[in-house]
Amino acid sequence: MVVHNETSTGCVTRIPEIRKVMDRARHPALLMVDTISSLGSIEYEHDAWGVDVTVTCSQKGLMLPPGLGFNAVSEKALAAAKANTSVRSYWDWSEIIAANKGGSWPYTPATNMLYGLDEAIKMLLEEGLDNIFTRHKRYSTATRAAVRAWELEVLCQEALEHSPILTAVLMPQGHDADQYRKVVLDNFDMSLGAGLGKVKGKVFRIGHLGHFNDLTLMGTLAGVEMGLDLAGVPHRSGGVLAAMDVLKRSEAVPVPRTAVA
């Protein structure tokens, strides 16, 4: 089981590499990938990458409210599920697959969300997945440029694994990330992501995901930079400028359509 985009650290796992290692070791395990925060924002290939079970949800790259979960399942995983004699009901795919053939669902589905999903998918295809992936990389490149200019540290150390959809930033020693986050929330009505688990209080997270554009990013980074100042966190100013430099110099990416156009 692997998380594709790790929202608590801002690292992307290279799924094809993992598949390769498993294949080399001829390991029989199923490969299950959590794409909760990546699907529709970061390149991902369930079939081509040899994933057995992909799990995702509505409220990130699909730009919907929370309330829907999705599974993509390989033939191998289906066979394993069929061979499994444990009793289950809610977790059983067979009834769902049978109902799906007729365009239906074995229980009462969250119908309103399905209308939203229909529209969200139209929006994603209208913009084009390649453009969406490029757009998110553009935001993360600009965000990391800002972090470097502030002389702070990005939690994810491996360049190949930098998340295009969020950036976790380490607080300088002796400074509490949650106190800083409170200053930003109180002053600018912006809720930055908290560090979770081991890095609680040690990192804050900047999201740049979904229906988002260059100026939303700039508003976000300006709030981070002003907040660092107001909270007395040691840093150099200039992050916002550095991000603008990246945005201006990189090739323009067509902006996503606004909701009503």
Backbone region of residue 40 per phi and psi (left: phi > 0; alpha: psi in -120 to 50; beta: other values): left
Among 16, 219, 232, 234, binds its own copies (CB under 8 A): 219
CB of 57 to its own copies, least distance (A): 8
Nearer to its own copies, 3 or 19 (CB): 3
Nearer to its own copies, 31 or 240 (CB): 240
Residue span binding its own copies (CB under 8 A) among the ranges 46-54, 120-128, 173-181, 210-218: 210-218
Contacts from 67-74 at CB under 8 Å and sequence distance 24+? 67/110, 67/113, 68/110, 68/113, 68/114, 68/117, 72/46, 74/30, 74/46, 74/47, 74/50
Closest CA to 122 of 80, 64, 77, 161: 64
Handedness of CA 156, 159, 160, 163 (dihedral sign): positive
Residue span binding its own copies (CB under 8 A) among the ranges 13-21, 105-113, 144-152, 203-211: 105-113
133 binds its own copies (CB under 8 A): no
| Footprint of its own copies (CB under 8 A) | 57, 59, 65-67, 90, 108-113, 115, 186-190, 213-220, 222-223, 225-226, 229-230, 237, 240-241, 244, 247-248, 252, 255-256, 258, 260
